[in-house]
Amino acid sequence: MSQIEAVFFDCDGTLVDSEVICSRAYVTMFREFGIHVDLEEIFTRFKGVKLYEIIDIISKEQGVTMVQADAEHVYRAEVARLFDTELEDIAGANELLASINVPMCVVSNGPVSKMQHSLGKLNMLHYFPEKLFSGYDIQRWKPDPALMFHAAKAMNVNVENCILVDDSSAGAQSGIDAGMEVFYFCADPHNKPIVHPKVTTFTELAQLPALWKARGWNITR
What mean pLDDT is predicted for residues 157-167? 98
The CA-based dihedral angle spanning residues 22, 26, 28, 30, taken in that order and rounded to the nearest 10 degrees = 170
In the chain the domains, ranked by start, together with CATH numbers, are 6-17+88-214 (3.40.50.1000), 19-86 (1.10.150)
Q: What is the pLDDT of residue 4?
A: 98
Contact residues for 94 (Cβ-Cβ < 8 A; gap 6+)? 122, 123, 124
Which tens digit of pLDDT belongs to each residue from 103-131? 999 999 999 999 999 999 999 999 999 99
What mean pLDDT is predicted for residues 67-84? 96
pLDDT band at 84 (very low <50, low <70, confident <90, very high): very high
10 among known catalytic residues: yes
- For residues 35 and 64, the answer to whether their CB atoms sit within 8 Å is yes
User: Which among 74, 76, 45 is positioned nearest to 58, based on CA atoms?
Assistant: 45
- What is the value of pTM for the model shown? 0.92
What mean pLDDT is predicted for residues 22-48? 95
Q: Where are any strands of DSSP class E within 142-198? A: 162-166, 181-185
| Number of Cβ within a 10 Å radius of residue 95 | 12
| Candidate list 10, 144, 166, 167, residue with the active-site label | 10
Q: Which carries the bigger pLDDT value, residue 108 or residue 50?
A: 108
What mean pLDDT is predicted for residues 193-204? 97
